[in-house]
Structure 1
Amino acid sequence: MSRKVIFTPRAPKPIGPYSQAVEAGGFVFVSGQIPLNPQTGEVVEGGIKEQTKQVLENIKAILEASGLAMENVVYVSVFLRDLKLFSEFNEVYSQYFTKDPPARVTIQAADLPRGVLLEVSVIAYRG
């Protein structure tokens, strides 16, 4: 099985030894994204709604670089620093997955990189 590394300057550069995404077997595995502005590399200002929007825009950019869209997402992993943010997170999230939303797991994480409120990774399918 071949694999292809996906990279776009429209999403944050990886801050460690990993790829933004890897395509294999018709699937695109997008690494966990935190709310970094791709131009500045800094965490976006604001609360959970602003951070959620930035994370999903980063994911959207990575998917577009692979020739896919949010509609191709089949599975989402969400890590929230506090599950009390779940409702506000969902308000923004639902704007990106309006029809036939993907399967999803949401868990509370004790700590996330750079003190952010969330991290999200997705799996998309090309088929």
Structure 2
Amino acid sequence: MAQKILLNPDWPRARNAPFAQGTQIGDTIYVSGQVAQDPQGQLVGAGDMRAQAIQVIRNIEAVLAVAGAGLADVVKITTYLTDMSRYDEYARVRAEMFPDGALSSATVSSPRLVTPDYLIEI
């Protein structure tokens, strides 16, 4: 069996989390759900879907970087939004951050994430 490698950026919030921010097995990387937190665990972009979406994708990028990967290596994302009427705001950020559109994507409505201030989780 391939060795499991835990991927944790050097974030204070990652050191305090009871789970890995990502896990690599062979050439496959699994990224834990990311929310709009800065490295210290503070909310970024209260009420602002664009700011939160950018922070979430930057967090994903940081986890991937621990393994020497980047956003261009992502093949699938599942996004949870607390308000589907704001989907277009998120979709614009996704298009900016993944400009070639070469990934599979699903977006799911979630009435609430881990705290009510989070609008998005990927």
Same fold by TM-score greater than 0.5: yes
Q: For the aligned residues, what is the CA RMSD?
A: 1.7
User: Is 1:78 paired with 2:75?
Assistant: no
List gaps (5 residues or longer) in structure 1: 121-127
Q: CA contact under 8 A between 1:10 and 1:61: conserved in structure 2? A: no
Q: Is the 8 A contact 1:11 1:61 kept in 2?
A: no
More strand, by proportion: 1
Residue 37 of structure 2 is aligned to residue 36 of structure 1: yes
> Percent identity of the aligned residues?
24
The answer for the alignment partner of 1:50 in structure 2 is 51
Would you say 1:105 and 2:109 are equivalent positions? no
Larger RCO (alpha carbons 8 Å, 6+ apart): 1
| Alpha-carbon distance in structure 1 between the residues aligned to 2:107 and 2:14 | 24
- Do the aligned residues in 2 keep the contact of 1:11 with 1:37 (CA within 8 Å)? no
What TM-score does the superposition give when structure 2 sets the normalisation length?
Answer: 0.90
Deviation at 1:99, TM superposition (A): 1.2
Q: Which residue is equivalent to 2:120?
A: 118
Distance, in Å, in 2 between the alignment partners of 1:27 and 1:14 is 23
Q: What does 1:85-104 correspond to in 2, within 5 Å?
A: 85-104=86-105
Instruction: Extract unaligned runs of 5+ from structure 2.
Output: none
1:77 shift after superposition:
0.7
Residues of 1 paired with 2:83 and 2:28: CA distance?
30
| Worse-superposed segment, 98-107 or 48-57 | 98-107
Contact preservation (8 Å) 2:84, 2:109: yes
Distance 1:8 1:24 in 2: 17
What is the SS of the residue equivalent to 1:113?
coil
Give 1:114 deviation, angstroms: 1.8
Q: Give the number of aligned pairs.
A: 119
Task: Kindly state the Cα deviation for residue 25 of structure 1 after the two structures are TM-superposed.
Answer: 2.8
Segment drifting more, 16-25 vs 28-37: 16-25
Alignment partner of 1:64 is 2:69:
no
* TM-score (ref. length: structure 1): 0.86
Structure 1 residues 86 and 14, CA, compared in 2 at 3 Å: closer, same or farther? Answer: farther
